Amino acid sequence: MWQALVLTLFPEMFPGPLAFSLAGRALREGRWALAVHDIRSHGKGRHRTVDDTPFGGGAGMVMRPDVVDSAIAATVPAGDARPLVYLTPRGRLLDQAMVRELARGPGVVLLCGRYEGVDQRVIEARAMREISIGDYVLSGGELAALVLLDACVRLLPGVMGAAESAEEESHAAGLLEYPQYTRPAEWQGRSVPAVLLSGHHAEVARWRREQAEAATRERRPDLWNRLPTHTG
């Protein structure tokens, strides 16, 4: 079974939204497992201190390497095959290819940082994989961990139905999704594109492809220019 372990100072934030919808049903069905561990329990002294001021000065607090290392040592068995991921805006940008790779594996161990981050030495000593979910700064790694887990879990065997799996193919092609329509066929004077009502499957497929390409070209030139047909 695909096993996720989350190391966090805010264990109450889990499973949170992952208890609902697709991920929640899959969790209850035992298609994946979630363990959550409170880093605070490895804190130092009477106050269970987990952070300290940054060497060299500056704002905020940094999570101590010894505390983070204890949390990992207590929860991750030696030889555990799961990648140890540290969620940070300094990380490599998460994309669908990384999600697919993580979902194919045995699971993930996710370290959620707070404050100004985690001491660099434990990141290196534990060979952590640093991942960002986008070019913006969250107040901690917890929401990023929830995003990563949701993206992975929906790809696990038996989690999505056939209809949803087919939809996945469009993103696999590196394009944005085509627009969707449902009933009523006319709403507030707006009609559904006629081709979608025509019953001509080949024409529907062609129209959707054109729409997906136009949206990608206009909205995401970065994705468009990375398509295989546009390289070399």
Asked if 35 and 3 count as a contact pair (C-beta separation under 8 A), the reply is yes
- For ligand ADE, the closer of residues 132 and 216 by Cβ is 132
What is the phi/psi pair of residue 52, to 5°? -155, 170
Nearest CB to ligand ADE, comparing residues 107 and 141: 141
Residue found under tokens 């999570």: 63
Contact with ligand ADE (CB under 6 A) among 39, 68, 84, 87: 87
Among 4, 51, 62, 89, binds ligand ADE (CB under 6 A): 89
Instruction: Compute how many other C-beta atoms are within 10 angstroms of the C-beta atom of residue 62.
Output: 20
- One of 136, 157, 158, 228 touching ligand ADE (CB under 6 A): 136
Does 60 bind ligand ADE (CB under 6 A)? Our answer is no
For the stretch 14-20, contacts whose Cβ atoms lie closer than 8 Å and that sit 24 or more positions apart, written own/partner, are 14/142, 14/145, 14/146, 16/146, 17/146, 17/150, 18/146, 18/149, 18/150, 18/153
Minimum Å gap between C-beta 88 and ligand ADE is: 5
Contacts of 45 (CB under 8 A, 6+ apart): none
- Counting residues that bind ligand ADE (by CB under 6 A) gives 11
- Does position 144 interact with ligand ADE (CB under 6 A)? The reply is yes
**Rounded to whole angstroms, how far apart are CA atoms 187 and 180?**
14
Dihedral sign, CA of 176, 154, 2, 130? Answer: positive
Q: Residue 107 in contact with residue 5, Cβ under 8 Å?
A: yes
- Residue 212 beta carbon to ligand ADE: minimum distance, rounded to whole angstroms: 27
Nearest approach in angstroms of CB 210 to ligand ADE is: 33
The piece of 98-106, 118-126, 127-135, 177-185 that touches ligand ADE (CB under 6 A) is 127-135
* Binder among 32, 42, 62, 88 for ligand ADE (CB under 6 A): 88
Q: Which of 89, 174 has the CB closer to ligand ADE?
A: 89
What number of H helices and E strands is found in the chain? 8, 9
Say whether residue 146 binds ligand ADE (CB under 6 A). no
Q: Does 107 contact ligand ADE by CB under 6 A?
A: no
Q: How far is the CB of 137 from ligand ADE (least distance, A)?
A: 5
Q: Are 1 and 42 in contact (CB under 8 A)?
A: no
Other C-beta atoms closer than 10 Å to the C-beta of 107 total: 23
The one segment of 41-49, 133-141, 149-157, 222-230 that binds ligand ADE by CB under 6 A: 133-141
Site residues, ligand ADE (CB under 6 A): 87-89, 132-134, 136-138, 141, 144
